[in-house]
Amino acid sequence: MDWASILYLGVTFGLFIIFVLIVRYTYSRKNREQNEEAKYRMLDDD
């Protein structure tokens, strides 16, 4: 495997890990309230 292929594979794997971390952060019980709060706040009177 040449360096370019290793780089492609690394970037792909890296992006996948970032995505998994985003999902984990968004759906963690600890952040649940915080991540749902915005949908109520936006309904405030303008």
Partner 1 sequence: MEKPNYNTDIVRSFINWGIIWGLVSIMVGVIVSLQMVEPALNFPPYLTFGRLRPLHTNAGIYGWAVGTTFALFLYMVQRLCKTRLWSDKLARFQLWFFNATIITAAITLLLGYTTSKEYHELEWPVDIMVVILWVAFAINIIMTIIKRREEQMYISLWYMMASIVGVAILYIVDGAEVPVSLFKSYSAYAGTNDANVHWWFGHNAVAMVLTAPPLAMFYYVLPKSTGVPIYSHRMSIIAFWSLIFMYLWTGAHHLLWTPVPDWIQTLAMAFSVMLIAPSWGSVFNGYLSMRGQWHQMRENYLVKFLIIGITFYGLQTLQGPMQAIRSFSAFIHYTDWVPAHIHMGTMGWVSMIAFASIYYLVPRVYGRELYSVPLANLHFWLILIGQLIWTISLWIAGVLQAGMWTATNSDGSLAYSFMETMVEMYPYWWARVFGGIIFLFGVIVFIYNLVMTTRRGEVSPASERTAVEGRA
- Does residue 43 interact with partner 1 by CB under 8 A? yes
The string of DSSP letters for 1-46 reads --HHHHHHHHHHHHHHHHHHHHHHHHH-GGGHHHHHHHHHHTTS--
- In the complex, minimum distance from the CB of residue 18 to partner 1, in angstroms, rounded to a whole number: 8
Site for partner 1 in 3-42 (CB under 8 A): 15, 19, 22-23, 26-27, 32, 34-42
- In the complex, minimum distance from the CB of residue 3 to partner 1, in angstroms, rounded to a whole number: 18
